[in-house]
Amino acid sequence: MALSDPGGILASPFTIIDRRDEKRALEAIIDIISEHQVKQVVVGLPRSMNGSIGVQADKVRAFVQRLTAHINVPVEFRDERLTTVAAKRLMRAARPGKSQKKARDDAVAAALILQGYLNETRNHDE
């Protein structure tokens, strides 16, 4: 999970939420939304390389549908293809020679997805 600064300029990795226990994951996300006064939720949608929606994307959509029943903020999906690859490259560049865990890569990927959204929406507002 990533959060942006209050001005919506910079996205930063925030935390890792384990979805194996869906109830706890939903509670954690709801708490973060409330605590940080989140005004927009951006969710990475894992599309296939050809752009199609597969099984994993359907699972993400179903999870988000359950989440939206408990929150009052808009949710937008963003294509997350190759963000984990980009995150791994960034982490290797930042810390050459150190192995990185998948969870850290996922948090950085979340920040990349959010940063792309922030950049795009900021450009539309100007």
pLDDT tens-digit map of 17-57: 988 999 999 999 999 999 999 999 999 888 766 767 778 88
Average of per-residue pLDDT across 100-107: 64
Q: What is the CATH number of domain 2-125?
A: 3.30.420.140
- Helical ranges in the chain per DSSP H: 22-35, 55-68, 83-94, 102-125
Crossing angle for the helix pair 22-35 and 55-68, to the nearest 10 degrees: 60
Here the tokens at position 74 are 């808009």
> 9 vs 32, which has greater pLDDT?
32
- Identify the band that residue 100 occupies on the pLDDT scale cut at 50, 70 and 90: very low
Q: How far apart are CA 114 and CA 2, in angstroms?
A: 7
CA atoms within 13 A on the CB side of 93: 7
- Identify the band that residue 13 occupies on the pLDDT scale cut at 50, 70 and 90: confident
Q: Tell me how far CA of residue 78 lies from CA of 24, 70, 108, 114, in angstroms.
A: 24, 21, 15, 9
CB 3 within 8 A of CB 36: yes
> 5 vs 31, which has greater pLDDT?
31
Whether residue 1 has pLDDT greater than 60: yes
The Cβ of residue 4 has, within 10 Å, a number of other Cβ atoms equal to 21
Whether residue 105 has pLDDT greater than 80: no
